[in-house]
Chain A
Amino acid sequence: DAVMTQSPLSLPVTLGQPASISCRSSQSLVHSDGNTYLNWFQQRPGQSPRRLIYKVSNRDSGVPDRFSGSGSGTDFTLKISRVEAEDVGVYYCMQSTYWPLTFGGGTKVEIK
């Protein structure tokens, strides 16, 4: 299985400041079709997960442009350019290149 490792585990951030979450895979996520199937999800407290980013850097409809994804191969990053109060929650990366789909352990974003 592709093991997904996120860091940090917890990320206290000041409102208006940037935040960055790292996600590393135990193997390259480049699919045989040439795509890299790395996704990012946000889970606000008490809610189900919501997809933010797919295929490394494609933002879902309705996702604020302060969220951006980047990376390649085995190393990926989710950045929030200016954290807002509504961004509090746990963020997960997920690879969908290989079966089974696997998730990172999550990064909890909180306001300082």
Chain B
Amino acid sequence: EVQLLESGGGLVQPGGSLKLSCAASGFTFSDSDMTWVRQAPGKGLEYLSHISANSAYTQYADSVKGRFTISRDNSKNTLFLQMNSLRAEDTAVYYCGRRPPGSLDYWGQGTLVTVSS
């Protein structure tokens, strides 16, 4: 069974940093592209970032480019999202997802990030 478990969320002040993790199991993580998506409270879904299976390729939405960095450790089946220069509008539930070719199939349960003073 595919499982994705995010962690690392919490309350952070504007301008601060946070690093999210996503522990994967139930599939061959090192063969899978991965992604981060967020959902602001009461709002829709926003695609943030993508990383290829071997980390050779990464992409970012304009809203987080230059502030967020996606990475992975295939030896530990873990995906990361380093978030710097956080703003109030980054407050959201952050989901990791498996990104097979042409889709996004499995999602984690999400971790809440709150940016507030």
A54-69: contact bitstring with B at CB < 8 Å (1 yes, 0 no)?
1100001000000000
B39-53: contact bitstring with A at CB < 8 Å (1 yes, 0 no)?
000001111001000
A106 at the interface (CB under 8 A from B): yes
Looking at B44, B46, B105, B110, the one whose CB has the most chain A CB atoms below 10 A away is B44
- A48 near B45: Cβ-Cβ < 8 Å: no
Q: Which B residues touch A54, using CB under 8 A?
A: 102-103, 105
Question: What's the tally of chain B residues with a CB closer than 8 Å to chain A?
Answer: 18
- Interface of B toward A, CB cutoff 8 Å: 35, 44-47, 50, 59, 61, 95, 102-110
- A48 near B108: Cβ-Cβ < 8 Å: yes
- Interface of A toward B, CB cutoff 8 Å: 31, 35, 37, 39, 41, 48-51, 54-55, 60, 92, 94, 96-97, 99-106
Q: Contact partner of B109 among A48, A96, A99, A106, CB < 8 A?
A: A48
Q: Which B residues touch A39, using CB under 8 A?
A: 103-104
**Bound Cα distance A52, B35 (Å):** 18
Q: Given A48-B107, A48-B108, A49-B95, answer yes or no on A101-B47 (Cβ-Cβ < 8 Å).
A: yes
Q: Contact partner of B103 among A96, A99, A103, A105, CB < 8 A?
A: A96
Interchain Cβ contacts under 8 Å between A and B, 29 examples? A35-B102, A37-B102, A39-B103, A41-B45, A48-B107, A48-B109, A48-B110, A49-B45, A49-B95, A49-B107, A50-B107, A51-B103, A51-B104, A51-B105, A51-B106, A55-B102, A94-B45, A96-B102, A97-B102, A99-B50, A99-B59, A100-B59, A100-B61, A101-B104, A103-B46, A103-B47, A104-B44, A105-B44, A106-B45
**Bound Cα distance A20, B56 (Å):** 41
Q: Which A residues touch B46, using CB under 8 A?
A: 103
